[in-house]
Chains A and B, each alone.
Chain A
Amino acid sequence: MIESLLAGVDVALRVDTFIWISGGLLLGMLMGALPGFTTSMGMSVLVPISFLVGDPLIGIPFLIGVYKGGIYGGSVPAILISMPGTGASIATVFDGHALTKKGKSRKALEMSLFASAISDFLSDIFTLVMIIPVAAIVLGFGPPEIAAVMFLSLVIIAVTATGPVIKGLIMLCLGVWVGFVGADPFSAMARYSFGTSELYDGFHLIPILIGLFALPEIFNAVKEGDMPGARVASFVGERLRLDELKNSLRTIFRSTLIGTGIGVIPGLGQPIAAMMGYIAAKNSSEHPETYGEGELDGVAGAEAANNAVNGPTMVPLLTLGIPGDAVTALLLGAFMMQGLRPGPTLLTSSGDIVFGILIAMVLANILFVAIGYLTIPFFARVVTIKKSLLIPVTIMLAFAGTYLARGNPFDIVTLIGFGLIGIAARQAKFDVAPMVMGFILGRELEYSFGQTLALAGDNWLRFALTERLGMTAVVLATPIIGVLLGRRMSHFRQRALAREAGQAA
């Protein structure tokens, strides 16, 4: 093992590797910043290029660089124009965009960058060192455990949403129901499709994201309208100060743990990690009620968590040959094109290459910070453009990005539909975040739940108690955690309301 590790170091530290990784990072950031152009789309365009490079040690870190850059890149439109580029950036919108409106867009972008890079670095080292034990843990998470964790996540999300718990629950249920439209996951029977093939396909995430988060902002601008010189913010603000970063270090470390943990569990993914990281940051703070109005810590919590997922996600791919999501599937293809066969034999037969790639990943994070830092001033300046010019561009991006995601004109209809829902929800003071997360998680939860039923058979009680103790523990703990969190959030909300009333008086 050690020889492979050392050989890997040797191979990773080459100039051309660095150049290619930097290129990948930059491309990834740019593609991530383009709403609707998902990371996996970008990677599939670039996979042939990685093949042409010839050397797996350059080609594959190039793609991984694109992947990392993409996850961070999605936070740029989320922060600047309240348009999450991917599901991973949902939680970044809350405080990120609020900060932009306060004139602190540069700080927000830089915090996002540093949080992402630090957590990615740490979780990559973890993956490198713990790859074998983690592989064993990954296998231990079957459908029952995944269903339990998802159930817990959904409850936490509903309970900690802005506003009263019951409103969060309503939006959550609504989101899950929206996910039901389409084919059922077991027998592919049509549900709520009214006989049309578009609805049989179900709704796609990107138009829902853009519709719920970005269109209401645009609509607001139209409502306020008629102020030709208005800008989102008149200046980009100062840079991130070192003490501000230090204040959020605890949050970053916490989110790294959360993200790494979620990355290990197959099938969960960045959106959940980001939300959990954000909620944990909010909950651990002394003033949770200010989160959502422009807390740098909120951005740190979300972005650190979603980048920490990247490293551990590679473990099932490298050790078992099983990709966990669309991106790792592309990496699988890239590996195979290079003549490598991910699976149990990969570490023994090509250990030096695997470790070389992992080490290149770790080092990529340093480049990540450098490149990101250079691009931020360019991005941040976007908000200083007049609203009357920026808003039309935003709406074009909304439409174009939606179409780009799938090439399906029905998505545009979905976009507008959910835009209207988002506008109505805003009027009615409902938080849309639980709805989106309900949509993302609902379908997965249904599938895992069904699988659990199949595994359990007739005697589910015995199954729950003897075979799947972990799942049972989590399921029983969920209502307790839900109530405790709900009470805490409610307490702080009352405090905030009282303070507001006091100020108004």
Chain B
Amino acid sequence: MSHLEADVKFTAVVLLLAVLALVFGGWLIAEPPIPLGPDVLAMSPKVFPTLILAGTALVASIFLITKHRNGTLFVAGSAGEGARVGGTMYRQILFVFITVTCALLLTTLGFLTTMFLLMASTAVLVGNRSVVQVLSISLVVPLSFYIIVTHVLRTALPEIDFIERALVPILRLLPSV
């Protein structure tokens, strides 16, 4: 059974978004509260986006129409071809799920914990089978990074209070930069 080619799906999404943004432009883009004439305000906030969105819709449509004319909208073969290869699809979905979760929980769990989870799961997903390696890399690398960044570069990383305070004595031992 045939399914839509990947680039057709992508472009269709883009076209849809562009059309929606054009139609709902009034709601999505605010207007200046005080009326200012063209002498004073160089360009209204709507002008350029409308131009570009129209252009996007145009180009996307041309692409889809050309594909349709060439008869290459659909390709043979099943959509889930990737999934045939063992647990690949499962791994991909799991990876996406883990990264999204870690992204959302970075500030709640703190840098070290989140990076530990992220690195450990990625290491396993990429094929590492050694518990020692996975654990050590997921602990040592974020910790060293954290110390270098906060102490040497004097930049902040999100971290929960408890761990931050626990690290204070260690940081004081290091030579100050």
A residues near B (Cβ < 8 Å) are: 37, 41-42, 45, 166-167, 169-170, 173-174, 176-177, 180, 184, 186-187, 189-192, 194, 215, 218-219, 221-223, 225-228, 230, 386-389, 391-393, 395-396, 399-400, 403-404, 407, 409, 412-413, 415-416, 419-420, 424-425, 427-430, 442, 446, 449-451, 453-454
Q: Are B56 and A174 in contact (CB under 8 A)?
A: yes
Q: When A170-B14, A186-B42 are in contact, do A388 and B103 touch as well, CB less than 8 Å?
A: no
Does B32 sit within 8 A of A, measured CB to CB? yes
A407 surroundings in chain B (CB, below 8 A): 155-156
Contacts of B6 in A (CB 8 A): 424, 427-429
Q: List 8 A-B contacts (CB under 8 A).
A: A37-B153, A169-B59, A180-B49, A228-B129, A388-B123, A396-B115, A409-B107, A428-B7
Number of interface residues of B (CB under 8 A): 69
B21 within 8 A of A: yes
| Interface pair A186/B41, CB less than 8 Å apart | yes
Task: State the Cβ distance, A430 to closest chain B Cβ, in Å.
Answer: 6
Instruction: Say whether B126 contacts A399, CB under 8 Å.
Output: no
CB distance from A152 to the nearest CB of B (A): 16
Closest-by-CB residue of A relative to B107 is A409
C-alpha spacing A415/B120, complex, angstroms: 20
Contacts of A404 in B (CB 8 A): 149, 155, 157
- Residues of B within 8 Å of A194, CB to CB, are 28
Of A174, A180, A396, A451, the contact of B48 (CB 8 Å cutoff): A180
Told that A225-B125, A228-B128 touch, could you supply 16 new A-B pairs with CB distance under 8 A?
A166-B62, A169-B59, A173-B18, A174-B14, A177-B18, A177-B49, A180-B49, A187-B32, A190-B30, A226-B127, A386-B128, A392-B119, A399-B102, A399-B106, A404-B149, A453-B43
Mask of B39-56 contacts with A, CB within 8 angstroms, 1/0: 001110100110011011
- B145 at the binding interface (Cβ < 8 Å): yes
B65 to chain A, nearest CB (A): 11
The answer to whether B166 has its CB under 8 Å from any CB of chain A is no
Please give, as numbers and ranges, the residues of chain A lying within 8 Å of B126 by CB-CB distance.
Answer: 221-222, 225-226, 387-388, 391-392
| In the bound complex, CA of A225 to CA of B87 (Å) | 10
A-binding residues in B (CB < 8 A): 5-7, 9-11, 14, 18, 21, 28-32, 36, 41-43, 45, 48-49, 52-53, 55-56, 59-60, 62-63, 66, 82, 88, 91-92, 95-96, 99-100, 102-104, 106-107, 111, 114-115, 118-120, 122-123, 125-129, 133, 137-138, 141-142, 145, 149, 153-158
Q: In terms of DSSP, what is the predominant structure of the interface of chain A?
A: helix
Task: Report how far A442 CA is from B18 CA in the complex, Å.
Answer: 16
Indicate if the CB atoms of A41 and B155 lie closer than 8 Å: yes
Cβ–Cβ contact A388 & B128, under 8 A: yes
For residue A430, which residues in chain B have a CB less than 8 angstroms away from its CB?
A: 7, 10
Known: A400-B115, A413-B104, A420-B96. A228 touches B127 (CB 8 A): yes
Whether A393 contacts B137 by the Cβ 8 Å rule is yes
Q: Would A392 and B157 count as touching, CB distance under 8 A?
A: no
CA distance A428 to B142 in the complex (A): 34
Partner of B10, one of A176, A191, A425: A425
Contact status of A450 and B119, CB under 8 A, knowing A222-B91, A226-B127, A403-B157? no
CA distance A451 to B142 in the complex (A): 46
Please name all residues of chain A whose beta carbon is closer than 8 Å to the beta carbon of B100 when the two chains form the complex.
416
Q: CA separation between A438 and B28, bound complex, in Å?
A: 21
Kindly list chain B residues whose C-beta atoms are within 8 Å of the C-beta of A392: 118-120, 122-123, 126, 128, 137-138, 141
